[in-house]
Structures are given as structure tokens and as C-alpha cells.
């Protein structure tokens, strides 16, 4: 077990934990000046992400291959990193109509850790292994460990256990040469550097992790056929706003009149992708469903098959 002194020594080597002497009297500055300093620091995050785009793209392609065969995408992290994973996972069903359990967010300490601190949870590799075992992980799945420091035992333990089980693994951190990156098959390390408030890695590091998770889930879903061009055609219309958005997406994809759109949506139980196919290919609802099933849910492939 790591001693407090050993942990302190480790933290002192991490860029995300570095102390900025030039900000030592930030609390004495006018509010506008603090806001400008923070905004300047935040502006550097996209460039740090940009430097790692090749690694992100490689990981996305590997994830897509697994998910195309029925695999799941699992995020595992503690604290802010864990919350960001849970957030990204929770946004996939309404945005991309993913199946329940297809994208999963695990946070050390369980759901209660979303709003309260669970003492010691992030330090337990055993807890990470137990959480993954509860999912009955398979080699078709992908586990992404998320940790700003890159040393969080829960995230490192999750990746190491997943890799031992044959799952694809990705380590997302904000420090180079991290233990998390070393444990994973795919290493994504976004060097965000010192924070405005020393040690508060929910700031720049959190922003970087959110940007990368957005990329991973969104581009993977594009590759899986969850969009048509840049249209969100697998949207799940679960409220008035999303129902209005569904109609607008069908209109943008087809140029059809409102009456034709309403007829198409009624014939396809509100499924946007199916409705577009009925209009553009001139097929009925059941035929559209079969074409999409045969094409693995890819609308362009279904349109090509309908044209033959």
C-alpha cells in the first residue's frame, strides 16, 4: 500500500498537480482579472486535445469494431472523472438511441458517489474488479479508464482487469507517462498542465476529459451508423422538444412536406431513420425496418440496397 509520503511525492511529479507561483495571490485580484486568467488557461485545452487526435482516432476505430459485433462501451473512473463518464454514458440513449447497457458509466463508490464523496472508493482496485465482474465483461467490450492524474487505483485496476479478460482497453489521463496509460492497450494522455487552483483537476483536466469523451462516443456512433451525414437520425423522441427535433431532422434529410413527414413517422412508430427511408426510398414501414436491419442500421447502406 502506498504511504502518505509516497503519494505526496508522486503528486509532486504530476503536471496537473503543479503549483503556479505566479498565481499565489490570485485571491487578491479583481474578479474580472481572475476570470480572464481562467479563460486564458481554458483556451489552451483544445490545443492539448488536438495534439492527441491520432491516438483518439485509433482508439475510436478499435472501439467501433468491437461495438459493431455487439460489444459494450464502459467508462470507469473516480470523482470528477467518474462523473464525466457517467454523464457521457447517460447522454447516449436519448442522442443515439443506444440500447440499455450498451454504454455504461462506472464511478468508484457507485451511484451515490455522483453527489457525495465515498471514502476510499477511488483507492480500491478490488472495487473496480468487482464492478466490472458485475457486468460480466467479455472480449467484445471496451473499458475506458478515466483519471486526471493517471494514477487513480480504481481506474488503473479497472483497465488492468478488463485487459486480462480480453476486453479492449483505453487509458485517458492528463499526465504523460501515466500508470493508467501503461496498463491500457490504447494510451490517450492530454497534457493540460497546472490548474488555476492547485490540485482542482475538475478544471482544465476535467474539460479535456469531457472533450475527449464527447469525441469518443460521438465519432463511434457516427461510425456505427447512428447519424446520416451530420443529422442525429437515431434520436429517441422522449419529450416534446425531441419530437419536434425528430420532425425537423426528417425534413432536413428529405425536404418533404409536413404532411408526408407525419405520415412517415406514424408508419414507423416515430423512428426517424425509418421514416427517412420510407420517404427517400419509397418503401413502407416494415420494408424500411428490414432494410435497416440487413444493413446493420446504416441508413446510407439501406438506401443503396433499396435502390437495387
What are the catalytic residues?
A: 91, 122
89's grid cell: 454514458
Task: List residues bridging with 105 in a β-sheet.
Answer: 75
Sheet arrangement for strand 142-147: 103-107, 73-77, 142-147, 168-173, 186-189
The 10 Å Cβ neighbour count of residue 237 is 19
Cell for 308?
437495387
Characterize 172-187 residue by residue with b for buried, 16 or more Cβ atoms within 10 angstroms of its Cβ, and e for exposed: bbbbeebbbbebbbbb
Alpha-carbon gap, residue 251 to 253, rounded angstroms? 5
- Pull the grid cell for residue 36: 480572464
Quick check: 154 and 78 in contact, CB under 8 A? yes
* Residue 137 to residue 164: CA distance in whole angstroms: 11
Quickly count helices (H) and strands (E) in the chain.
Answer: 14, 5
Euclidean distance between CA atoms 86 and 89, whole angstroms: 5
| Residue 122 contacts residue 108 (beta carbons within 8 Å) | yes
Grid cell in block for residue 83: 462523473
Q: What is the CA radius of gyration of the chain?
A: 22
Q: How far apart (Å, rounded) are the C-alpha atoms in residues 47 and 50?
A: 5
Rounded distance between C-alpha atoms, residue 285 and residue 295, angstroms: 15
The distance from CA 97 to its chain's CA centroid, rounded to whole angstroms, is 15
Amino acid at each position: 500500500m502506498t504511504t502518505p509520503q509516497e503519494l505526496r511525492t508522486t503528486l509532486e511529479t504530476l503536471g496537473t498537480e503543479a503549483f503556479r507561483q505566479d498565481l499565489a495571490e490570485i485571491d487578491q485580484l479583481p474578479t474580472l482579472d481572475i476570470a480572464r486568467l481562467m479563460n486564458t488557461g481554458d483556451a489552451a485545452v483544445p490545443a492539448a486535445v488536438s495534439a492527441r487526435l491520432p491516438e483518439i482516432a485509433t482508439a475510436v476505430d478499435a472501439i467501433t469494431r468491437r461495438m459493431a459485433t455487439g460489444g459494450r462501451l464502459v467508462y470507469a473512473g473516480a470523482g470528477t472523472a467518474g462523473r464525466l463518464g457517467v454523464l457521457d454514458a447517460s447522454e447516449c440513449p436519448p442522442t443515439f438511441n443506444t440500447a440499455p447497457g450498451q454504454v455504461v458509466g462506472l464511478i468508484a463508490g457507485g451511484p451515490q458517489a455522483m453527489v457525495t464523496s465515498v471514502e476510499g472508493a477511488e483507492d480500491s482496485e478490488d472495487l473496480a474488479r468487482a464492478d466490472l465482474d458485475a457486468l460480466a465483461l467479455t472480449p467484445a467490450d471496451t473499458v475506458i479508464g478515466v483519471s486526471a492524474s493517471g494514477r487513480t487505483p480504481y481506474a488503473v485496476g479497472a483497465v488492468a482487469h478488463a485487459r486480462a479478460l480480453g476486453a479492449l482497453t483505453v487509458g485517458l489521463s492528463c499526465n504523460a507517462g501515466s500508470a493508467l496509460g501503461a496498463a491500457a492497450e490504447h494510451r490517450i494522455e492530454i497534457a493540460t498542465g497546472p490548474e488555476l487552483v492547485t490540485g482542482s483537476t475538475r478544471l482544465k483536466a476535467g474539460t479535456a476529459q469531457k472533450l475527449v469523451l464527447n469525441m469518443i462516443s460521438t465519432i463511434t456512433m457516427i461510425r456505427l451508423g447512428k447519424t446520416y451525414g451530420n443529422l442525429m437520425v437515431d434520436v429517441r423522441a422522449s419529450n416534446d422538444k425531441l419530437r419536434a427535433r425528430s420532425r425537423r431532422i426528417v425534413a432536413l434529410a428529405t425536404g418533404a412536406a409536413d404532411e408526408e413527414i407525419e405520415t412517415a413517422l406514424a408508419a414507423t412508430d416515430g423512428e426517424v431513420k425509418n421514416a427517412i427511408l420510407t420517404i427517400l426510398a419509397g418503401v413502407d414501414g416494415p420494408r424500411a425496418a428490414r432494410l435497416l436491419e440487413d444493413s446493420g442500421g446504416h441508413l446510407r447502406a439501406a438506401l443503396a440496397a433499396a435502390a437495387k
